[in-house]
Amino acid sequence: MGNYSLSKLFWKRFKKNKLAMAGGLAVLLLFITAIFAPFISPYDPSDIDRKHILEAPNSKHILGTDDLGRDVLSRMIYGSRISLSVGFVAIGIATVIGMLFGAISGYYGGWTDRIIMRIIDIMLSIPTFFLILAVIAFIGPGIWNIMIVIGLTSWMGVSRLVRAEFLSLKEREFVLAARALGASDIRIIFKHIMVNSMAPVFVSAVLGIASAILVESALSFLGIGIQPPIPSWGNILTLGKDNIEIAWWLSVFPGLAILITVLSYNLVGEGLQDALDPRLWGSRDGTG
């Protein structure tokens, strides 16, 4: 079966999952919002208007204003850029590190595998969020610091997935044939095995983006993430906490944005997992 047929089969399976399609639509809208934020945003997110402090949602300010009179909708639109940036950069770092360690561990085995697995076990024994809190408190908040720290503390799951795939694939005929033809270890790892191990990694990365967005929002909510005046859904929530009795909109709208975004990525990840599982293709699609 050619690549085109596999792509058609994947898309056929994915679009059958209505929840995954809905999640994909929400993610697409988030992308469009983030990319075209300067054109979509009705106001500058940093504009202070002391005449309209803590205004409830109205025709002029659809999602209300904050304690400095800034438009909440505009700040949330620009905040979507922060969420996407943190999610993709952090998980990009985690995926690259995890793939490298998982590939080395699974391919070479022996003491190399044991050392890497012990490192992963140690990392997993430490509560990730508290580790991130400690590191951020030490090096200071900032968008790049947050991206790097989340990436450096989130690679273990990817590494285990890649290791499992390598253990399964490294004794297959196509790998043995490549080795018999004199292919180097690097060529075998990256050209022959890695390309056949990408499906679970891709699913893990999509799910990881949701986790990274949630972590960034939590850090910003606690005051050690994205710092004002840069808009972030987490620091808008912090204002909501401080004004919960008189400005409900500062908690409800960013909270819903985080909920919908994280849920959408999880739905897309689950849909990809089903669509990329070859064990389900023939039995459910009538292609076997």
Q: How high is the pLDDT of residue 288?
A: 42
Angle at 275 between CA 271 and CA 281, to 5 degrees: 145
* Domain membership of residue 80 as a residue range: 3-285
220-275 pLDDT, tens digit each: 888 888 888 888 998 888 888 888 888 899 999 999 999 999 999 999 998 888 88
Tell me what the pLDDT averaged over the chain comes to.
Answer: 87
Percentage of the chain modeled with pLDDT above 70: 94
pLDDT at 284 over 60: no
pLDDT at 39: 93
Q: Distance between CA 68 and CA 236 in Å, rounded? A: 12
Q: Whole-prediction pTM value?
A: 0.86
pLDDT band of 126, cuts 50, 70, 90 = confident
Q: Which DSSP helix (H) or strand (E) runs through 202?
A: helix 198-222
- 267 in Cβ contact with 20 (< 8 Å): yes
**Structure token digits, residue 170:** 């490294």
3-state DSSP assignment of residue 21 = helix
Q: Could you tell me which of 231, 205, 208, 252 has the C-alpha nearest to residue 82?
A: 231
CATH of residue 141: 1.10.3720.10
Per-residue model confidence (pLDDT) at position 286 = 45
| Predicted pLDDT at 11 | 79
* Bridge partners (DSSP) listed for residue 65: 71
DSSP code string of 253-270: HHHHHHHHHHHHHHHHHH
Which pLDDT value is given to residue 98? 95
Q: Are 66 and 244 in contact (CB under 8 A)?
A: no
DSSP, residue by residue, 147-196: HHHHHHTS-HHHHHHHHHHHHHHTTSHHHHHHHHTT--HHHIIIIIIGGG
Cα gap 201→68, rounded to integer Å: 43
Write out pLDDT tens, residues 8-45: 777 788 888 899 999 999 999 999 999 999 999 999 99
Confidence of residue 4 (pLDDT cuts 50, 70, 90): low
For 66-75, 134-143, 185-194, 253-262, which range has the lowest pLDDT when averaged over its residues?
134-143
Least confident of 26-35, 170-179, 228-237, 278-287: 278-287
- Per-residue pLDDT band at 279 (split at 50, 70, 90): low
Structural domains counted in the chain: 1
Structure tokens at 46: 């940093």
Surface-to-core class of residue 208, CB atoms within 10 Å of its CB (0-12 exposed, 13-18 middle, 19+ buried): buried
Question: Can you tell me the distance from the alpha carbon of 288 to that of 277, in angstroms, rounded to the nearest whole number?
Answer: 14
pLDDT above 60 for 3: no
pLDDT in tens, 189-215: 888 888 888 888 989 999 999 999 999
Name the β-bridge partners of 71.
Answer: 65
Best CA proximity match to 272, nearest among 3, 6, 21, 2:
21
Whether the CB-CB separation of 109 and 172 falls below 8 Å is answered with: no
